[in-house]
Amino acid sequence: MSIYDFEFNSIDGEKVSLDQYKGKVLVIVNTASKCGFTPQYADLEKLYKKYKDKGLEILGFPCNQFAEQEPGNNQEVKSFCELNYGVTFPMFEKIDVRGKDAHPLFKNLVEKAPYKGLDLNHPSGKILYSFLSEKLPEYLVGDSIKWNFTKFLIDKEGNVVNRFEPTTEPMDMEKHIEELL
């Protein structure tokens, strides 16, 4: 199944097909408003502003599966993102990204970009790994999404070319994005 076959509702409730993003480089990210990684919104927006005219789209998918860190409704999420981080990139309705109810897009993404581990040399990598090992060890098994702000990089042909775990800062993806634009 092609990435362009998937449809979602925007955060405002409008039907959106990923088909409209053909020919663009995409960063698809699951987000949350009350997470230690939430400040990544700021750098995601920086990347979006810098490269949107060159063909980059960042698509944010709020998710409440990780310690209920996205409890608000869609309008609350939208307001939070706009007011606190100036987010202008497309945001979508809340969805599940792991488990039996995971949206098929995210099942597809993790199948095409398996989990390679957290960067344990990064302080937040150590913290997240320790937390998951102690509180949610089942999350470390398999290729599923481990936490908020897992980022997938998609090329202009719709191929998943890289997966960046939450501990990877958005600006650390910049050279990978530039190579695809």
pLDDT of residue 122 exceeding 90: no
pTM for this predicted structure: 0.96
Indicate which CATH number applies to the domain containing 111. 3.40.30.10
Q: Which of 26, 35, 77, 105 is catalytic?
A: 35
User: Structural domain tally of the chain?
Assistant: 1
Active site residue 63: no
- Has residue 121 got a pLDDT over 90? no
Q: Looking at the predicted structure, is the pLDDT value of residue 135 above 90?
A: yes
Beta strands 25-31 and 56-62, pairing class: parallel
Domain limits for position 42? 3-16+23-180
Give the residue with greater pLDDT, 132 vs 1: 132
Q: Which two tokens stand for residue 122?
A: 């990064």
Q: What is the pLDDT, as a whole number, of residue 145?
A: 96
